[in-house]
């Protein structure tokens, strides 16, 4: 159990008092370059993003669509490793926003479970999202996270059964990640109709904040999701702005503008 409220928990308390959803931006560490990822994250924050989700680049990202896969591949080609991920996490939290790491289990296990949790905490991170870690296989991570007083964030999907839902949500802290559809990450023309019903199902089992990810890319979609969720997660849309830019300066300008639009959406 987390003894003191993490920065992430404090954020959701604040946004609830402001009667709005939190805007969470995602970016893989090392994309478009190791130095450039810090600049892009700063642009997100300047545009109004409330919290940052830093992706740990991985060679087999089963939950990620082509946009994020391409970004992670480039990050790996740039030589991004654990030290770079934690350095980016530290520089992000120094900007005054909560930050978490999104990582598959393999990098945690290779780094050392206890050491990973300790390094995350030392860098000022609030916790980790572990999309491929099941609660049945979580005992080592649960112990390490509790020891380091960081949040454990699991992913639930429309396919999560009624009997399994409370088992998963009871193991979460910080927030619960609601994957709005069955499939991989990516921008879409509309948010899945399953998202709102999934949030309702989660609320019947937990009082934790719920953040919706997968598919949000426009101000209108952010506004729609913010009407029923506590957080709106945007990743592929930010990455695409960077991928379509000729320079890091252009990328940061485009990212900041998108962040402003999305921030306006969650505040309306």
Nearest C-alpha neighbor of 228 from the set 260, 195, 267, 268 = 195
Describe the strand order of the beta sheet including 151-153 as a list of residue ranges: 151-153, 127-129, 99-102, 51-55, 22-28, 231-234, 210-213, 176-179, 155-156
Q: Which residues pair with 101 in a beta bridge?
A: 54, 128
Active site residue 136: no
Q: Which one of 53, 84, 230, 241 is the catalytic residue?
A: 53
Query: Can you tell me the distance from the alpha carbon of 83 to that of 150, in angstroms, rounded to the nearest whole number?
Result: 19
Q: Which one of 9, 64, 84, 241 is the catalytic residue?
A: 64
Query: Can you tell me the distance from the alpha carbon of 80 to that of 82, in angstroms, rounded to the nearest whole number?
Result: 7
Reading the block at residue 14, the tokens are 């604040």
Active site residue 64: yes
Query: Can you tell me the distance from the alpha carbon of 113 to that of 134, in angstroms, rounded to the nearest whole number?
Result: 15
Decide the pairing of beta strands 155-156 and 151-153: unpaired
Q: Which residues pair with 213 in a beta bridge?
A: 179
Query: Can you tell me the distance from the alpha carbon of 237 to that of 68, in angstroms, rounded to the nearest whole number?
Result: 10
Per the CB < 8 A criterion, the answer to whether 213 and 194 are in contact is no
Q: Which residues pair with 176 in a beta bridge?
A: 210
Reading the block at residue 38, the tokens are 């810090």
Tell me the catalytic residues. 53, 64
């Amino acid at each position: 159990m987390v003894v003191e409220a993490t920065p992430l928990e404090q954020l959701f308390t604040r946004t609830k008092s402001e009667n709005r959803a939190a805007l969470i931006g995602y970016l893989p560490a090392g994309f478009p370059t190791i130095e450039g990822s810090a600049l892009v994250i700063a642009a997100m924050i300047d545009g109004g993003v409330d919290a940052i989700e830093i992706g740990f680049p991985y060679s087999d990202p089963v939950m990620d669509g082509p946009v994020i896969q391409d970004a992670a591949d480039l990050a790996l080609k740039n030589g991004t490793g654990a030290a770079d991920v934690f350095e980016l996490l530290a520089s992000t939290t120094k900007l005054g926003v909560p930050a978490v790491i999104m990582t598959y289990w393999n990098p945690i296990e290779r780094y050392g479970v206890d050491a990973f949790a300790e390094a995350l905490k030392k860098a000022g991170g609030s916790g980790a999202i572990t999309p491929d870690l099941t609660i049945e296989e979580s005992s080592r991570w649960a112990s390490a996270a509790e020891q380091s007083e960081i949040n454990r964030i699991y992913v639930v999907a429309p396919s999560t059964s009624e009997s399994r839902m409370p088992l998963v949500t009871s193991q979460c802290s910080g927030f619960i990640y609601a994957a709005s559809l069955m499939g991989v990450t990516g921008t879409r023309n509309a948010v899945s109709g399953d998202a709102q019903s999934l949030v309702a199902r989660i609320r019947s089992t937990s009082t934790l904040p719920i953040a919706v990810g997968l598919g949000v890319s426009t101000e209108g979609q952010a506004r729609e999701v913010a009407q029923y969720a506590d957080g709106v997660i945007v990743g592929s849309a930010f990455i695409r702005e960077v991928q379509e830019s000729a320079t890091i300066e252009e990328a940061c300008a485009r990212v900041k503008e998108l962040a402003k639009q999305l921030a306006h959406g969650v505040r309306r």
